[in-house]
Amino acid sequence: MATTETFYEVMRRQGISRRSFLKYCSLTATALGLAPSFAGTIANAMETKPRTPVIWLHGLECTCCSESFIRSAHPLVSDVVLSMISLDYDDVIMASAGHQAEAILDEIRHKYKGNYILAVEGNVPLNQDGMSCIIGGRPFIEQLREVAADCQAIIAWGSCASWGCVQAAHPNPTQAVPIHQVIHDKPIIKVPGCPPIAEVMTGVITYMLTFERIPELDRQGRPKMFYGQRIHDKCYRRPHFDAGQFVENWDDEGARKGFCLYKMGCKGPTTYNACSTVRWNNGVSFPIQSGHGCIGCSEDGFWDKGSFYDHVTDTRVFGIEANADRVGIAAAGTVGVAVAAHAAASAIHRIKQRAGEHHEENDQA
């Protein structure tokens, strides 16, 4: 193992020119929201620091995070980062297999004790003693606990590792739980999304490798630089929202003109992600740009929040799915009718009472 190699040396060995390296540094500085002067800082760090190993574990997942990662928009980014981490452990893309591969895990754990980053894709099924996810003949939870014990920090890739995602959706037969419910004693950086954006993933890794600290996180443990704002806040269709111009049907004039998709159930106003700024596939597009609302894939429990085409969540009340508007209108209507009936009854009651009093007065006279 090239233990003393710096990032820069690894990159040069991979055939990356100095010019490309510097371009990568400035691009990363921009992606991280740093000042242009930080490109030099990044370059300097990469040239002088011995690289930090990254172990990439796969739990209960669909590999969409890996698929996204290897399609990082700037090809260089994936080249650079992959060359930094694939040498160590990632059972999907590394060359070695079987016992040889598992041996690497042990080697890194002991050699870099407390100095490596653990990236986890997917989550942990707890039911049936964790039998729903077996890695190298053992439940994934055992592998995760062992590797996590000696790591510096954990990156939870995707909505699975961050929140639970589809395998934890109701009724969650395998009792899949996100990483933070299994590992409690390590800092966990959540990078949610199904999958997360490639540039967000490489950006987070590069930040941690370069500055040797975890990026600033929000309350839920997501890097503020990518998850600090909602899709809605920077959506290019936002002016149509403010103007009150909405798509009402998938084939109407508004849809052709690119109006706001709020009424079609766009989850942009409730979803924290960088899609509307970084976009996907080399910055080509993102769901809203291609005419479909955001489904909120980077939000906690997004599979259990009702239809993808309704921004008002269905509420399970007594086993019946109903939304606030339907129940609210029904309740207001019922109360309205009840009030009218009660008013009528009150009036009749009063007339009768009056009649009774009148009789009494007459009797007295």
Which residues, 6 or more positions from 142, have their beta carbon under 8 angstroms from its beta carbon?
A: 130
Cβ of residue 360: shortest distance to another protein, in angstroms?
13
Say whether residue 241 binds another protein (CB under 8 A).
yes
Determine which residue in the list 1, 2, 103, 331 makes contact with another protein, applying CB under 8 A: 331
Determine which residue in the list 263, 278, 289, 291 makes contact with another protein, applying CB under 8 A: 263
List the end-to-end C-alpha distance of the chain, in Å, as a whole number: 116
Site of tokens 């297999």: 97
Determine which residue in the list 33, 187, 228, 291 makes contact with another protein, applying CB under 8 A: 228
Question: Is the backbone of residue 269 left (phi > 0), alpha (psi -120 to 50) or beta?
Answer: alpha
> What value, to the nearest 5°, has the Cα angle with vertex 69 and ends 89 and 169?
90
Give me the residues paired with residue 117 across strands: 54, 153
Cα–Cα distance measured from residue 98 to residue 76, given in angstroms and rounded to the nearest whole number: 30
| Cβ atoms within 10 Å, residue 182 | 17
Cβ of residue 210: shortest distance to another protein, in angstroms?
23
Determine which residue in the list 72, 202, 210, 271 makes contact with another protein, applying CB under 8 A: 271
Query: Is the preceding omega at residue 75 within 30 degrees of 0, hence cis?
Result: no
Q: Which is nearer to another protein, 65 or 247 (CB)?
A: 247
Distances 157 to 60, 64, 91, 193, 211 between C-alpha atoms, Å: 12, 10, 15, 8, 20
Say whether residue 293 binds another protein (CB under 8 A).
no
Determine the angle formed by the axes of helices 38-48 and 198-211, rounding to 10 degrees.
70
Say whether residue 246 binds another protein (CB under 8 A).
yes
Site for another protein in 148-187 (CB under 8 A): none
Say whether residue 206 binds another protein (CB under 8 A).
no
Binding piece for another protein, criterion CB under 8 A, among 58-66, 86-94, 141-149, 246-254: 246-254
Say whether residue 248 binds another protein (CB under 8 A).
yes
Determine which residue in the list 13, 113, 213, 224 makes contact with another protein, applying CB under 8 A: 224
Binding piece for another protein, criterion CB under 8 A, among 50-58, 164-172, 177-185, 329-337: 329-337
Q: Which residues bind another protein (CB under 8 A)?
A: 218-220, 224, 228-230, 233, 239-248, 253-254, 259, 262-263, 267, 269-272, 296, 299-301, 305, 311-313, 315, 324-325, 327-328, 331-332, 335-336, 339, 342-343, 345-346, 349-350, 353
